[in-house]
Structure formats: C-alpha cells, structure tokens
Amino acid sequence: MKKYTEKSNVVGNLITEYRKKKNLSKTNLCKLLQLHAVYLDITELKRIEDGNMIVKDFELIALCKVLEIDFDDLKNTIE
C-alpha cells in the first residue's frame, strides 16, 4: 500500500515564512485571525503550514491580511 504524500495546499510554506518574518507564534497568529472572524486552532494552523489541510478562500484572505503577504509572492506560489 502506497503512503499518501500529496500536499493539500501550496501556500503552507509561504504562510510559515511570513509568520516567522513577523515573529509570530502560531498561537498569536490564531488570535489575530480571530479579529477577522477566522477561527483556526494551533493544530489546524500547523496542518495548513505543513500542507496537510486545505485552506478555504476566506482563511487565505485573512492570513494574507494579517501576515501582510505580498500578492506577487502569493501568485508565484500558486502558479
């Protein structure tokens, strides 16, 4: 039996990079996301950063706002 290794999202590494640039812990990022009505717990955020959880569009928008992710970086990651 093959082990499933395909990623569920392509933005996990970008989110991790920007979170670390802003010197935010996963806990603090989760708290900031709540201000945008996005309720992720630390485990879910870890799964997103690891590429093992699908990111919903409204979650991605909030992550980009909170982390100030550059649109070109996001676009290049997705392409």
Q: What is the pLDDT along the chain (79 residues), one digit of tens a residue?
A: 334 457 889 999 999 999 999 999 999 999 999 999 999 999 999 999 999 999 999 999 999 999 999 889 899 888 7
With respect to residue 45, please indicate whether it lies within any of the assigned structural domains: yes
Q: Number of structural domains, the chain?
A: 1
Q: Whole-model pTM?
A: 0.86
- How far is residue 29 from each of residues 46, 60, 74, 77, 79, measured CA to CA in Å? 11, 13, 18, 21, 26
With respect to residue 55, please indicate whether it lies within any of the assigned structural domains: yes
| Alpha-carbon span 2 to 9, nearest angstrom | 20
- 9 with 51: CB under 8 angstroms? yes
- pLDDT confidence of residue 5: 54
- Enclosing domain of residue 26: 12-72
